[in-house]
Amino acid sequence: MNQEYVEKAVAHYKELLLSQIERADRMNNVERPEKKAKTVIGVLGGDGIGPIITLQAQRALEALLKDEIAAGTMEIRPIEGLTIENRLAVNKPIPDDVLAAVKECDVLLKGPTTTPSGGTMESANVAMRRELDLYANIRPVQVPEEGIDWTFFRENTEGEYTLGSKGIEIPGVLTMDFKVTTIAGTRRIARAAFEFAKKNGKTHVAIVTKSNIMKKTDGMFSAICHEVAAEYPDIQVDEYFIDIMCANLLKPALRKTFQVILLPNLYGDIITDEAAQIQGGVGTAGSANAGDRYAMFEAIHGSAPRMIARGMGNYANPESILRAAVMMLRHIGLTEKAEKLDAAITKAQEVCPITGTVEGHTCQEFGETLAAMLG
Ligand code: IPM
Ligand code: MG
């Protein structure tokens, strides 16, 4: 009985290996997009509190970009259908029509999507990152009064995530998942982190792995990052293991020395929630998923099904998705508008605080306050 499973698993493994070699080859042959006269911003609501918070971000963008929209250089295009119900109905992490519509856009603002745990349904986020090859997950965290100004560069397409829904099971005995690290995939995220550091006057990059245990994958991630680092002699490079780095983020004197933090996918996922909590909660941080052709901006939190179940969806905090919208404006070169939105969000939080409870304001009230400030 086991023998049969083993043979199936070996055949499955061979297929995975070949598909990953092919992916690595594709990374070495990417096409650079041409600049277009019009930038299309696709807006995807997602699930749970997603449509509620995303709608207010869309309003803010419409107010902020009204001249560009009127002149035809920008378009805000809502895309329906990226819901858990539709995904389960077609048994695909992104329904085909949604993916086709997404690929017609340049940048995307996306609400959180629900990921069923277990089963084989892949996360819509992970699928989107793969389909659009959004390899850099950039997550800034700031606590100005403490001197904290971190930018995480999390590799976004490989590691434990690439084959996370394609593991092996020998029923009643064991399960096995795979972690994949490619040279091309590591080089491009390392390059993105060091280029960001150089362009933004950052003098320190911390490489974070668990290469003492994950010897092949993290060992290579670390080696390639150091290879790229050698091209940036003015930037100081330190290396930490992920466990101690999680502790370091809680040490006030040390943590303010970190600037750019470069790390593989899963560690980046975990530590950015910790970092966001230090900033004030996962509801406060935005996230960019950038590739060479597309970029997607989102809240770092999930769809909050418990909040919806308690009938509290209208009290969801749109701050994280709005901070993501700020990052999106910066990404498309609208730096002044980005600063304006950023400042307005902070101001709106003062006059119309959202607490996630009935004592605070609703998401819609917050959105109205904000749009009025931007209009
Ligand atoms: C994030 C989220 C996602 C991830 C989930 C929703 C798939 O936690 O963007 O950090 O694990 O990457
Ligand atoms: Mg996460």
pLDDT of residue 60 exceeding 90, the answer is: yes
**Residue 284, domain member (yes or no):** no
Same domain, 183 and 274: yes
pLDDT of residue 38: 95
Q: In this structure, are residues 259 and 205 in contact, taking their beta carbons and an 8 Å threshold?
A: yes
Same domain, 182 and 227: yes
Choosing from 108, 125, 141 the residue with most ligand 1 atoms within 8 A of its CB, the one to mutate for a pocket test is 125
**Which has the closest alpha carbon to 190: 142, 155, 157, 218?**
155
Q: 241-265: per-residue pLDDT in tens? A: 999 999 999 999 999 999 999 999 9
Centre of ligand 1 to C-alpha 38, Å, is 30
The CA-CA-CA angle for residues 19, 25, 27, to 5°, reads: 105
Does ligand 1 lie within 6 Å of residue 156's CB atom? no
Same domain, 64 and 199: no
Q: In this structure, are residues 221 and 182 in contact, taking their beta carbons and an 8 Å threshold?
A: no
Centre of ligand 2 to C-alpha 267, Å, is 10
pLDDT of residue 115: 87
Same domain, 116 and 200: no
Q: In this structure, are residues 316 and 357 in contact, taking their beta carbons and an 8 Å threshold?
A: no
Euclidean distance between CA atoms 124 and 133, whole angstroms = 13
Does ligand 1 lie within 6 Å of residue 126's CB atom? yes
Q: Above pLDDT 70, what percent of the chain?
A: 100
Sorting pLDDT into bands at 50, 70 and 90, what band is 321?
very high
Euclidean distance between CA atoms 87 and 66, whole angstroms = 33
Q: Above pLDDT 90, what percent of the chain?
A: 89
pLDDT of residue 83: 95
**Residue 10, domain member (yes or no):** yes
Same domain, 308 and 365: yes
Euclidean distance between CA atoms 367 and 314, whole angstroms = 11
pLDDT of residue 296: 97
Q: Which domain holds residue 219?
A: 1-30+143-279
Tokens of 19: 């598909």
Euclidean distance between CA atoms 202 and 188, whole angstroms = 19
Nearest ligand for residue 320 CA: 1
3-class DSSP state of 367: helix
Q: 194-239: per-residue pLDDT in tens? A: 999 999 999 999 999 999 999 999 999 999 999 999 999 999 999 9
Q: Which residue has a Cα nearest atom 5 of ligand 1? A: 125
pLDDT of residue 312 exceeding 90, the answer is: yes
Same domain, 150 and 266: yes
Mutual angle of helices 319-331 and 335-351, in 10-degree steps: 170
**Residue 167, domain member (yes or no):** yes
Sorting pLDDT into bands at 50, 70 and 90, what band is 89?
very high
**Residue 285, domain member (yes or no):** no
Mean pLDDT of the chain: 95
pLDDT of residue 86 exceeding 90, the answer is: yes
* Domains contained in the chain, number: 2
Closest atom, ligand 1, to C-alpha of 269: 10
Mean pLDDT value across residues 186-201: 97
**Residue 198, domain member (yes or no):** yes
CATH of the domain at 248: 3.40.718.10
Same domain, 153 and 251: yes
Same domain, 224 and 267: yes
Same domain, 233 and 156: yes
33 secondary structure, DSSP code: P
End residue of a domain, out of 253, 279, 305: 279
**Residue 286, domain member (yes or no):** no
Lowest mean pLDDT among 31-35, 174-178, 352-356: 31-35
Sign of dihedral through CA atoms 242, 244, 246, 252? negative
pLDDT of residue 96 exceeding 90, the answer is: yes
Same domain, 273 and 153: yes
**Residue 26, domain member (yes or no):** yes
Lowest mean pLDDT among 47-61, 79-93, 277-291: 277-291
Same domain, 154 and 195: yes
pLDDT of residue 282 exceeding 90, the answer is: no
**Residue 269, domain member (yes or no):** yes
pLDDT of residue 30: 75
End residue of a domain, out of 257, 279, 301: 279
Q: Which residue has a Cα nearest atom 9 of ligand 1? A: 300
Same domain, 229 and 367: no
Choosing from 123, 165, 320 the residue with most ligand 1 atoms within 8 A of its CB, the one to mutate for a pocket test is 123
Lowest mean pLDDT among 120-129, 142-151, 217-226: 120-129
